[in-house]
Amino acid sequence: MGGAGGRALRAEVTKPGMVPPPPGEESQTFVLPPGWQSYLSPQGRRYYVNTATNETTWERPGSSPGIPASPGPHRSSLPPTVNGYHASGTPAHPPETAHMSVRKSTGDSQNLGSSSPGKKQSKENTITINCVTFPHPDTMPEQQLLKPTEWSYCDYFWADKKDPQGNGTVAGFELLLQKQLKGKQMQKEMSEFIRERIKIEEEYAKNLAKLSQNSLAAQEEGSLGEAWAQVKKSLADEAEVHLKFSAKLHSEVEKPLMNFRENFKKDMKKCDHHIADLRKQLASRYAAVEKARKALTERQRDLEMKTQQLEIKLSNKTEEDIKKARRKSTQAGDDLMRCVDLYNQAQSKWFEEMVTTTLELERLEVERVEMIRQHLCQYTQLRHETDMFNQSTVEPVDQLLRKVDPAKDRELWVREHKTGNIRPVDMEI
């Protein structure tokens, strides 16, 4: 869902940025080595980034004379940066059900690759459910809706919902798609309903025309005969009215409904595939993060074991083994941060596309409902016009029926058919 609308929506998706140090702060106390910059974390704590290697650390590089910045045991657990920003894309509301895991923010002394994890008490900041990371409801402030007071799709379908049959979960976006597909089916059935109405009108018109040609009571005479002839003629006129009604129903109601449904179907297909692909990519990135996290844990455990061996001097090679273990632990930390970085980028992309796509679904639904409403109004208008035309066909019948005069009819008939007005008399003897 590209275009200006998509770009405008993306601009609303804010990310916590890097905050540079106040002017002159670094220069007043310490000059950073080349390639290093200082920033503030969202919690207000200063950290340092090597712009050449993307390494991050809590400790000031080269802060002790003669000691270079080391990314090894001091590798930070800060969130990775993406183009100068901490990758973020947290949706609006934490869901209620589904597979979840809780991630805790580490204490200040706990860094990626560290040989001795800190024991400080930490708070749970995020919760991951079905590979999507949400803010933890107990520690994060309430998020503002993207479109307050509008009950917009983009605010209420981030979570997965438990399947009513208990066979897993259904993505919130899938629920929106199901609604759209149901709407498409309803529109199809409405088109079929109008088509059946057209068939009835055509058959009715055909039968009326046939009946108007019937010769029954054709011998009726007088003013009543004229009225009866007009009744039969009105049937032919009414048949023509219903034929026109059926033709207009086809061109002005049924056909537009069918054409709109086909376009609607194409739009739904594009939305479905796009979001599904992004969600699969997000799940793949999350699996990579978990794998890297497990690898880091193993490397840290190995480093801690070798450190303990050095303390009790079990081997002459222990010191070299520690260096090797530290390098592997540092590499594992780098791999984890890279995986988290890619995951956050994938989640941000999914988040942004969810916003634009759900708003597009919202627009399509409004368009569908409004289009059907307009064409049903057209149906009632045509029906009203048909009734008016039908009324006009019987008005001449009403006029002739009001003129029916049995006495006059008798006079006319007698004048035409009389055989004599001399009455018989008694016979004389």
Give 86-139 pLDDT, tens digit per residue.
333 333 344 444 455 555 444 333 455 544 333 333 457 889 999 999 988 887
H runs (alpha helix) in 13-122 = 25-29
Long-range contacts of the stretch 378-387 (C-beta < 8 A, 24+): 378/252, 378/253, 379/194, 379/249, 379/253, 382/245, 382/248, 382/249, 382/252, 382/253, 383/245, 385/245, 386/241, 386/242, 386/245
Q: What is the pLDDT of residues 43-68, one digit of tens each?
A: 566 777 777 776 777 778 874 443 33
Q: Is 221 helix (H, G, I), strand (E, B) or coil?
A: coil
Q: Which H or E run includes 241? A: helix 222-249
* 80 vs 402 pLDDT, higher one: 402
Burial of 416 (0-12, 13-18, 19+ CB in 10 A): exposed
Select the highest-mean-pLDDT range: 36-40, 265-269, 419-423.
419-423
Confidence of residue 189 (pLDDT cuts 50, 70, 90): very high
What's CA 282's distance to the chain center, in Å?
18
pLDDT, position 28: 44
Distance (Å, whole) CA 61 – CA 49:
9
Q: What is the pLDDT of residues 153-188, one digit of tens each?
A: 999 999 998 887 777 888 999 999 889 889 888 988
Q: Is 56 helix (H, G, I), strand (E, B) or coil?
A: strand
* 4 vs 165 pLDDT, higher one: 165
Distance (Å, whole) CA 273 – CA 389:
51
Q: What is the pLDDT of residues 138-158, one digit of tens each?
A: 877 778 888 889 999 999 999
pLDDT, position 73: 36
Question: Does 318 have pLDDT greater than 90?
Answer: no
Confidence of residue 312 (pLDDT cuts 50, 70, 90): low
* 27 vs 268 pLDDT, higher one: 268
Looking at residues 270-289, what average pLDDT do you find? 89
Tokens of 83: 């183009």
Distance (Å, whole) CA 115 – CA 295:
14
Length of the chain measured in residues: 429
pLDDT, position 305: 84
pLDDT, position 64: 41
Distance (Å, whole) CA 105 – CA 126:
8
pLDDT, position 292: 95
Q: What's 180's DSSP letter?
A: H
Confidence of residue 313 (pLDDT cuts 50, 70, 90): low
CB hemisphere CA count around 151 (13 angstroms)? 0
Q: What is the pLDDT of residues 321-370, one digit of tens each?
A: 888 888 999 999 999 999 999 999 999 999 999 999 999 889 988 988 99
Confidence of residue 199 (pLDDT cuts 50, 70, 90): very high
What is the average pLDDT score of the chain? 78
Distance (Å, whole) CA 400 – CA 228:
9
Distance (Å, whole) CA 152 – CA 92:
12
In 3D space, the residue among 106, 77, 64, 112 whose CA is nearest the CA of residue 295 turns out to be 112
Distance (Å, whole) CA 209 – CA 109:
95
